[in-house]
């Protein structure tokens, strides 16, 4: 089952031609599933295959440029991508609502950091799966945003972040919950808010 993590299914797909088992794929939970991406890559793979950069991780650097009004260019960012987070630039500035299952993947967390400095609230929906990853990312994001003075509330399948004036935000020791995405998101926040310290980076 890919319900808990698509990584298990993707790993099995990579060896299915060499292994002694039959793999049955059910309908993905999300329309832009990483399992689907793995299937597409496996079906078109050749010796000089160009691997896309990890656009979920690239979102932090794009957000850093956006929040500091600097210029950051991600080398190799594809015009069309197999990755749902390839659409991240189109969500800056953040809209009122973003669906994790239809609009963005893990970069919704990066977008939440940008929304703290936006002009309107951001509501992340269809994101219950975030609770089952390296940590409960919904609860962790809301707790750590509140720790720095931002206004955020969680729902069963997502969370809402409201814009906060810079002078109302404060430095804090940020818990990462052993989750690299928490460390990266709040590192971006630290570019705007003095005194942000990442525990267990």
Residues annotated as part of the active site = 106
Residues in the chain: 201
- What is the distance, to the nearest Å, from the Cα of residue 37 to the centroid of all Cα atoms in its chain? 16
Distances (CA, A) of 126 to 48, 70, 169: 37, 32, 28
Which of the 8 DSSP states describes residue 29?
Answer: S
Strands 122-125 and 158-162: antiparallel
* Burial of residue 150 (number of CB atoms within 10 Å: 0-12, 13-18, 19+): buried
Quick one: which of 45, 102, 50, 105 has its CA closest to 79?
Answer: 50
Which helix (H) or strand (E) element contains residue 174? strand 173-174
Q: Which tokens hold the place of 157? A: 């399948």
């Amino acid at each position: 089952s890919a319900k808990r993590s698509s990584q298990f299914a993707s790993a099995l797909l990579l060896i299915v031609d060499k292994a002694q088992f039959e793999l049955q794929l059910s309908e993905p939970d999300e329309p832009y599933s990483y399992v689907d991406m793995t299937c597409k890559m496996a079906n078109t793979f050749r010796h000089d295959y160009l691997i896309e950069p990890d656009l979920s991780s690239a979102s932090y650097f794009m957000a850093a440029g956006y929040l500091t009004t600097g210029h950051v260019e991600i080398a190799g960012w594809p015009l069309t991508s197999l990755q749902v987070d390839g659409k991240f630039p189109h969500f800056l500035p953040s809209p009122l609502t973003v669906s994790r299952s239809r609009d963005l993947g893990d970069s919704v967390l990066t977008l939440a950091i940008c929304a703290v400095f936006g002009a309107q609230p951001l509501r992340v929906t269809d994101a219950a799966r975030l609770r089952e990853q390296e940590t409960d990312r919904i609860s962790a994001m809301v707790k750590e945003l509140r720790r720095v003075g931002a206004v955020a509330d969680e729902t069963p399948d997502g969370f809402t972040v409201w814009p906060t004036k810079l002078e109302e935000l404060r430095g804090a020791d940020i818990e990462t919950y052993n989750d690299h995405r928490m460390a990266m998101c709040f590192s971006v926040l630290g570019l705007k808010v003095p005194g942000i310290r990442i525990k267990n980076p």
